[in-house]
Amino acid sequence: MLMTAEDYRESLRSLSPRVFVNGERVECVADDPRLAPGINGVGVTYDFAHEPAHRRLMTARQGGRTVNRMLHVDETCADLLDKLEAVRLVCKVSGCAQRYLSHDALAGFHMATHRADAVHGTDYHARFLAYLEEVQRRDLTLGVAMTDAKGDRSKRPADQPNPDTYVHVTERRDGGIVIRGTKAIVTGAPYMHEFLVMPCRTHRPEDAACAVACAVPVDAEGVTIVAKPAGRPGEAAAKFSARYGQSVGVVIFDDVFVPHERVFLDGEVEEAGHLTTSYATHHRQSCIGARAGFGDLLIGAGAMMSEANGLDPERHGHIRDAMVDLITITESFFACGVAASVYGVASESGTVMPEPVFANVGKLLLATRIYDMHRLAHYVSGGLVVALPGPDEDHNPQTAASLAAVLGGRGDIPAERRAEVARFMEDLTVSHQAGWYSVISLHGGGSPEAMKREIWRNYPVGERADLVGQLIDRGVYDAGQRVSRQPGRCCARGCEAPDRIAPEAAE
């Protein structure tokens, strides 16, 4: 059953999480205006699954039913591309629709549980498949509880003075486990249905208690959420983020019991590390789609702003140049997401993962270039975005008329429209919300240093060195026997796709 945004909001009423926002206990998540922009953002993913124009992208078939794309586990390279485009679509409307995190985590759990079973003879995968089926059937939204509080960053978990800086297993009982600790950055925490808990790095054997992956309802006993408001609710100047935003929360697990059927890893440090990595690879590709959608907003707002200023990019080369730079940045990192789809990598569990070099390159680009995007948006907008008096002034009888008379730009665009566009741009690029987008682009899904390490780890540097070695030695290059045996097959399921750029090792 595919819910609508309205169904989703209603479904939150059946849960009773312990949530604090700005130091106050939240009575009802579904009704709290401070969380409404976040719920609206997630809601787009629900509503668009019903829109005829978007249905093909926003849904997929799996396990005999139609599921929301945000809950679908990719089976082909085309799925990866559809998901990428779907994320861009919902984020260009909502800024950040948040729910792709559910997708990314489900994909990671699918792979890691399968691998753990193969190595350890466990039955995690079957548990997970049952859970997946329920999540898809109920059309849930799952939060990702991954980033631990970490404490002193130069120390590993077991060496921390306070063990609660990392979520860890404190007890194993009949029927389940007990977990304890704090996850520091959980996107959309208050209005999720459940959390997927997982480690934020590969742990050492001595930190095995932290290598735990499981699902926990948002209102499980012992869970406390300390969250920030989503977007800029109730602010008149917030032309965009009064409607769409994202809450971020700290989630405290105070001896929370998790029944076995919701435990998907428990102490398998290597597979837990694999879970983190494969989740991250999926997530980095999703971030690419999300931030491309943000780019669409900036491009559109920039075009409207320069038009309202009376500056036609056709005639003003420096404005056109800045617009082209903005486009170039957005589409070049999006292209990395496309390439990560096309060269998707088949996993043993039957899913397809984005090609990690392209996924990490794209995320690395967006992480650093979002700042340039803001610069370019400001460049084409002029100083009005910070100089314009606030919306309270619009209704000040002593000043409104005078201001309206002089603050217009191009003759056929009323001053009021120009002000709206300026405030939209201010909201996206000057406000606290703007800063949030920047930091989350830089550090969300892993910091640039993490991306760089993944690129290095995954790139076929040896093949390149071999090429040069052969050219030096013989002037020719014979990669014959080293190329993939299955040209035209990207993955085990046999979907049509091109060769890998990185030849496989010869058998």
Main-chain phi, psi angles of 267, to 5 degrees: 100, -5
238 binds its own copies (CB under 8 A): no
Site for its own copies in 98-117 (CB under 8 A): none
Site for its own copies in 472-491 (CB under 8 A): 472, 475-477, 479-483, 487-488
33 binds its own copies (CB under 8 A): no
In the bound state with its own copies, the residue whose beta carbon lies nearer, of 110 and 228, is 228
User: Which of 133, 219, 270, 321 contacts its own copies by CB under 8 A?
Assistant: 321
DSSP 328-341: HHHHHHHHHHHHHH
In the bound state with its own copies, the residue whose beta carbon lies nearer, of 138 and 482, is 482
User: Which of 8, 131, 191, 240 contacts its own copies by CB under 8 A?
Assistant: 240
User: Which of 102, 276, 333, 353 contacts its own copies by CB under 8 A?
Assistant: 333
CB atoms within 10 A of CB 233: 19
187 is in an annotated binding site: yes
336 binds its own copies (CB under 8 A): yes
Rounded to the nearest whole angstrom, what is the least distance from the CB of residue 142 to its own copies in the complex?
A: 19
Give 3-state DSSP helix, strand, coil % of the chain, rounded to 5: 50, 15, 35
Site for its own copies in 275-314 (CB under 8 A): 296-297, 299-301, 303-304, 307, 309-313
50 binds its own copies (CB under 8 A): no
Burial of 261 (0-12, 13-18, 19+ CB in 10 A): middle
64-99 b/e (C-beta count within 10 Å ≥ 16 → b): eeebbbbbbbbbbbbbbbbbbbbbbbbbbbbbbbbb
Tokens 């590993």, residue located: 156
231 binds its own copies (CB under 8 A): no
Rounded to the nearest whole angstrom, what is the least distance from the CB of residue 206 to its own copies in the complex?
A: 19
Site for its own copies in 70-89 (CB under 8 A): 78, 81-82, 85, 88
Distances (CA, A) of 266 to 108, 272, 278: 15, 8, 17
Main-chain phi, psi angles of 329, to 5 degrees: -60, -50
Number of residues binding to its own copies, judged by CB under 8 A: 164
**Taking the CA atoms of the chain, what radius of gyration do you get in angstroms?**
24
Binding-residue pattern over the window 404 to 433 for its own copies, x denoting contact by CB under 8 A: -xxxxxxx--------xx--x-x--xxxx-
Q: What is the 3-state secondary structure (H, E, C) of 212-250?
A: EEEEEECCCCCEEEEECCCCCCCCCCCCCCCCCCCCEEE
In the bound state with its own copies, the residue whose beta carbon lies nearer, of 135 and 200, is 200
- The rounded distance, in Å, linking the Cα atoms of 198 and 106 is 11
- The rounded distance, in Å, linking the Cα atoms of 157 and 232 is 36
Rounded to the nearest whole angstrom, what is the least distance from the CB of residue 302 to its own copies in the complex?
A: 9
226 binds its own copies (CB under 8 A): yes
Site for its own copies in 133-162 (CB under 8 A): 147, 149-155, 161-162
Rounded to the nearest whole angstrom, what is the least distance from the CB of residue 48 to its own copies in the complex?
A: 10
452 binds its own copies (CB under 8 A): yes
CB 168 within 8 A of CB 213: no
In the bound state with its own copies, the residue whose beta carbon lies nearer, of 37 and 108, is 37
Dihedral (CA of 116, 118, 120, 126) sign:
positive
Distances (CA, A) of 338 to 215, 285, 352, 362, 419: 31, 9, 14, 10, 37
Rounded to the nearest whole angstrom, what is the least distance from the CB of residue 401 to its own copies in the complex?
A: 11
- The rounded distance, in Å, linking the Cα atoms of 507 and 340 is 25
202 binds its own copies (CB under 8 A): no
243 binds its own copies (CB under 8 A): yes
CB 313 within 8 A of CB 327: no
28-36, 102-110, 136-144, 451-459 -> range binding its own copies (CB under 8 A): 451-459
In the bound state with its own copies, the residue whose beta carbon lies nearer, of 129 and 483, is 483
In the bound state with its own copies, the residue whose beta carbon lies nearer, of 238 and 275, is 238
Rounded to the nearest whole angstrom, what is the least distance from the CB of residue 270 to its own copies in the complex?
A: 20
Site for its own copies in 53-72 (CB under 8 A): 53-54, 56-57
198 binds its own copies (CB under 8 A): no
Annotated binding-site residue numbers for FAD: 187
